[in-house]
Amino acid sequence: MSDTQDWTTMTAEQLIARGHKPVAIQHTEKEGWQEVSEQTAKPRVEIRDWSIIDNRLHGYVDNHPTLGNAGFVRTSPIVRANVTTGVVQTQNTLYVLVGDGVKLTATSGSRFSVTAAVNTLKAAMKTDGDIAWGWHCNIAMAFYDAAGDTLNKHRISNEGAARFMRNAFDVDVTQFPEYQALVKGWALLEAGGHLKGHQSIAEMVSTHTSVWREALAHMLTNKAYDRAYVEHEIKALADIEAACKVEVAAQPPVGNSASVAAIQFALDADEGMTWLRLWNQGEFESCRREWPEAPDECYIGADQFFTPKPE
């Protein structure tokens, strides 16, 4: 046997005769030697959900002798691959391909199938929630932009994106905390979104009575208006203000006004979903630094250290 014989063509008996201990032996009459060890002392690692991109192996490993339980890895460049056995040698490690993935052939080289690519993407999404949520948000915003003036389009867009993520990638983003925060916001908006963040009509009206009073007082100085009528309206406004105060005082305290304001701001702001995600995680300083236009109502009650801007 020639000393230059390639290790991938050796039989188990030839390897053992040369003093190399094989890592595994699957010997049949038809297929012969199915797995071999590298002639150097490279470690052997099984890799699953794998693909080959730019002559590097990508996939998931456990018990890597150097990286430990690293999860997803991108290997060093591939040196050679046994197209029959699915054994790939990189500069540092000998990898054994496990399960579905790229099916190497003599002509395909480092090409990979569409199915393998999708499987790799699905595996990455299931492992890294940030990747999955990023895809979800981009899909939802595409739906949102196309929805025009559709009622409740924010909720509908996210529900459609969640359905796509589940059908295409088998990822249920509705269980993500970011999605749960959206669900709570939709409920608040649909229950009282017309109140613009206020708990009741009385509370909403009470914030404007002083302005109306000033306007009516100005009308008294203008001879173009019927003075008796304006005086009647001033008295009616006083009755309205008193009634609002009684109703507002009787309202139970709530802690969701900031949530409503946050959802409303996120709907219209640039990169609003990114802002809402930071807000939901309590990264209020980042929210205020990157989105200074966000109203104080987004933070009152949500951020215990927040001090409203002076009027």
The answer for residues whose C-beta is within 8 angstroms of residue 16's C-beta and 6 or more apart is 22
Is residue 73 within 8 A of residue 60, CB to CB? The reply is yes
Q: Phi and psi dihedrals of 251, rounded to 5?
A: -70, 140
- Calculate mean pLDDT across residues 271-279: 84
Per residue in 54-96, pLDDT tens? Answer: 778 888 887 777 777 767 788 888 888 876 677 888 888 888 8
Domain ranges of the chain: 41-125, 128-171, 176-198+254-311, 200-250
Give the torsion sign (CA, 191, 158, 145, 147).
negative
Please identify which residue in the block is written with the tokens 């802002």: 275
pLDDT given at position 197 = 56
Helices and strands per DSSP (H, E), number in the chain: 11, 7
| Nearest partner of 34 among 100, 97, 113, 102, judged by Cα | 97
**CA triplet 4, 7, 13: central angle to 5 degrees?**
105
Give the DSSP per-residue string, 265-295.
Answer: HHHHSTTHHHHHHHHHTT-HHHHHHH-TTS-
- Calculate mean pLDDT across residues 151-173: 90
Is the pLDDT at 148 greater than 70? The verdict is yes
The whole model's pTM is what?
Answer: 0.37
